[in-house]
Amino acid sequence: MFIRCEQAELIKKLNIVTRAVPARTTMDVLTCVVIKTIGDTINMTANNMELGIETLVIGSVEEQGTVALNAKIFTDIIRKLTGSEVTIETDTSLNTTIKCGKSVFKIPGRETTDYPPLPEIQKKYNFTISQFVLKDLINRTIFSVSTNENVKVITGEYFEAGDGELKVTALDNHRIAIRKAQIPATEGNVNAIIPAKTLNEVSKILTGEIEDTVELTFGDRVLSFEFNDTLVVTRLIEGNYLDVNRMITGDYQTKITINRQELIDSLSASLPLIPDSDNTPVVFDITDGNLNIRVRTNLGSLSSDTPITKDGEDIKIGFNPNFLIDALKAIEDESIDMYFLHQRAPGFIKNEDGTYEYVVLPVNFVDN
């Protein structure tokens, strides 16, 4: 193999594929990226068996071939180069010479025959969506995904697509985040649980431009994202997702409208008084026109007032301030509506057109 590429292009594409190189693995070959020429095109691939990424590298092919190179060393070398054109050449033993400017590197390469190919997809359903919209849906929900690997299904996000709508749900034991977006109305529908790790990586690779699109193709236990010159293939999480609709009712006794940033500020102010090991909640004391937030721990106490518009009953209810702050930071509106049913029922933050809904469980408190 003998190829020529620009350093900047190699760095850009390595930044994409190396997201699928496992940090730890018992299969040594997975620590490599595979470079492969197919006619005039150059492909780079990495695969950690859950997530695989393949991307096109712009460059010229002088001699066909394929080689697997240690991802860390290859990336470190390419990043440190100070020229522009890079040539990569392998000999018959796959010893690889990397030349750039006046530097000549030689590193060992290895066969690609034992490198696992990306899983193939039997298409069951697919749709195309703006990269901006998909990235936004992920970023505004993924913080709610559970990190408890013992309940595998909630370590992913639940995608429900069909009838011109994509609904994304993320939840852990304390909160739920739901976002909806429009997709092209086509026949059929699909439900799938996508690993949060995959979505994190995908959201980082997506350009996030409104006019750029990404195509999602759902197969049996496998999903692919195709965008720009890149293909991401991920295994899906098997099992049944939790029935969120059962937990969410439209009932409420109290509705408040409040400035989102003022609420974030008041909740953030409580954090210095609550050590990480402490589960003391902040207490919301909602009366006409005023939300009093208070907390008392052995470090000190805080009382803070924020103006609100209130419909319905007065209520006192306790929350973990971090969970509310997470949800509030994921919302784009200047003013938000919160709904409460009673002290032991979840609090809801949602908008009228139903594009977002954040649910946070309350925490028992002793008011003093």
Q: Which residues bind a copy of itself (CB under 8 A)?
A: 70, 73, 76-77, 80-82, 102-108, 265-266, 268-269, 271-273, 299-306
- The smaller minimum CB distance to a copy of itself, of residues 74 and 241, is found at 74
Q: Which is nearer to a copy of itself, 16 or 302 (CB)?
A: 302
- Sign of the four-CA dihedral 260, 145, 296, 367: positive
Between residues 74 and 348, which has the closer beta carbon with respect to a copy of itself?
Answer: 74
**Shortest distance, position 272 Cβ to a copy of itself, whole Å:** 3
The span from the CA of 264 to the CA of 249, in Å, is 25
Whose structure tokens read 């309350």?
362
- Smallest gap, in angstroms, from Cβ of residue 364 to a copy of itself? 23
Q: Residue 35 and residue 82: Cα distance in Å, rounded?
A: 22
Least distance between a copy of itself and beta carbon 78 (Å): 9
The one-letter amino acid at 354? G
Rounded least distance, CB 268 to a copy of itself, Å = 5
- Comparison of 56 and 271: residue with beta carbon closer to a copy of itself: 271
Q: How far is the CB of 82 from a copy of itself (least distance, A)?
A: 4
Smallest separation, CB 92 to a copy of itself (Å): 18
HEC profile of 94-161: CEEEEEECCEEEEEECECCCCCCCCCCCCCCEEEEEEHHHHHHHHHCCHHHCCCCCCCHHHHEEEEEE
Considering the complex, what minimum distance in angstroms separates the CB of residue 305 from a copy of itself?
Answer: 4
Closer Cβ to a copy of itself, 103 or 207, answer by number:
103
**Cβ proximity to a copy of itself, 70 vs 254, nearer residue:** 70
- Min dist CB 263 to a copy of itself, Å, is 11
Of the two residues 36 and 294, which places its CB atom closer to a copy of itself in the complex?
294
Handedness of CA 289, 295, 296, 302 (dihedral sign): negative
| Triad 217, 131, 239: Cα angle to 5° | 40
Three-class SS state of 327: helix
CB of 251 or CB of 265, closer to a copy of itself: 265
Contact in structure between 182 and 134 (CB atoms under 8 Å): no
Listing DSSP states for 159-180 in one string gives EEEETTEEEEEEE-SSEEEEEE
Contact 36, 5 (CB under 8 A): no
CB contact at 8 A, 348 and 331: no
